[in-house]
Chains A and B, each alone.
Chain A
Amino acid sequence: MKKMSGKRKAKIEVEQLTKSFGDLLVLNDISFDVKEGEFLSIVGPTGCGKTTFLNTLSTLMPPTRGRILIDGEPADPKKHNISFVFQEPTCMPWRTVKENVAYGMETKKFPKKKAEERLKYILGLVGLTDTENLYPNQVSASMEQRIAVARAFAVDPDLLLMDEPYGQLDVKLRYYLEDELVRLWKALNATVVFVTHNIEEAVYVAERILVLSNKPTKIKAEVRVDLPRPRSLIDPAFVEIRKRVTELIRWW
């Protein structure tokens, strides 16, 4: 278990992030830090601009105002390792499972030998070794999402962004993959920002939760989740935190 102290170094600093499309103000002056190796969840009501938030964080979209620093430098996908796991599957149908997982390392120009070793290690971690030579259309939807997750972890990301990666899967698979995600995060010591609208999921995986408001989006509250792992969904302390977050969102 990693140190849970507040003394960890800030890996990501988001300063006064603002994004508007014409007159529509979507993100309104958002500032927060993510610590090195932290698992941060972001929840908010539907349509609160979560996707825009992630797109700006990943630098796919330039912010209107404000900036994002990684290790004290402005975030740049060519310099920093930013991984993004999208909501929809992003497997290239012309590449095998193995080749799909290797894509990130290939683009980042990892040395061949290091990439091969790491590929083997990651495939083992996510249990894709048996299916490494199949094509994406030969594996299930949940496997496709695991390929994307494996690819994201493989590049040893400075920042791993996840946009409701398990939103479209059934409950049982989701629990299974959430456990797997927590395991990967611990094993690889990654800094993760996990966006979801599923409160239970957020409380289950995260160390800290940021609750977003309705548009124009601001950070409404911050909730620490100091629960031991593996967490239990029926533990009174777990239920208590879940209720608190639900109260904060109140989308009905």
Chain B
Amino acid sequence: MAYETVKVDTPLVLRILPVASVVAFFGIWQGVVDFGIVPNTMLASPTQVAVLFWEKLFVADPDGAVLSVHAWVSIQEAFTGFFLSLLVGIPLGLMMGWFNVAEGLARPIFELIRPIPPVAWIPLTIFWFGIGIPGKVFIIWLSGIVPCVINSYVGVRMTSPTLIQMARTYGATDWEIFKKICIPSALPMVFGAMTISQAYCWTTLVGAEYLAADQGLGYLITMGRRLASPPMVVLGMICVGLTGVAIGIVIERLEKKLLAGIRR
């Protein structure tokens, strides 16, 4: 084999530092609460949160559902919105990048809707869909679609002009160039869009549930506030964070696998 992958060991320091920083973070947090520097009514300590986490795995009270149900509802909403935004946003962005007609038609409307924060749609959404899952999915979809369109568009626009010329000299049609040159060349940007869009969807989810929900991680945070329970608020936040990280890792793995040729 002419080509071999070289393995490089990560230096010890680089392996220890991330662990040390996480330990220090939780240590200081615990100390700040335990020694009363921040009163317990304003912030829960990590151990309190951990205890509640264990309880909430089995007990539905006082907020009406166990943790796994909350998480599952949130994941369903976020992913439905996320996939719908990929489904619409990526093809739309790619087409806008290559076909002038698509750009001319879609760009002005897109630019008009883009600056409106997704949460501003909540009142209208409640009129249209009530407080069920479809309304939240709609808001999540709106926030996820923006990076999909922008990145796919820019990705196509960044296609090397020489590659396009090369394809033209072989007599490739516009559609063939779009399919075989522009789309593969835009893929790294499209995967970037997936990461960003997923983050947007997940962030918007909490906002959407904050106003209109009866289950979900965002709802857990709202209930924590209503019940004046800092541990529940923090638990909700941490669960949102951890689930987001997990989804991010899955997408990164997928990206690495699919882009073997483009990434060094």
Q: A residues within 8 Å of B by Cβ? A: 58, 60, 77-79, 82-84, 86, 88, 90, 92-96, 103-104, 107-108, 130-131, 134-135, 137-138, 148, 155, 161
Contacts and interface: CB of A to CB of B under 8 A. Distances in A.
B34 interface: no
Q: Which secondary structure dominates chain B's binding surface? A: helix
A80 to B, nearest CB: 8
Contacts of A137: 261, 264
Interface in B158-205: 160, 162-163, 165-172, 176, 180-181, 184-185, 187
Contacts of B176: 107
Given A84-B165, A86-B166, A107 B184 contact: no
Contacts of B25: none
Given A84-B169, A155-B170, A95 B2 contact: no
Interface residues of B, number: 24
A76 B262 CA distance: 33
Given A88-B162, A90-B162, A108 B170 contact: yes
Nearest to B3: A138
Contacts of B180: 103, 107
Nearest to B167: A107
Interface of B: 2-3, 160, 162-163, 165-172, 176, 180-181, 184-185, 187, 259-262, 264
B171 A94 contact: no
Contacts of B168: 60, 77
B163 A134 contact: no
Contacts of B261: 93-96, 135, 137
B262 A94 contact: yes
A66 B244 CA distance: 63
A46 to B, nearest CB: 20
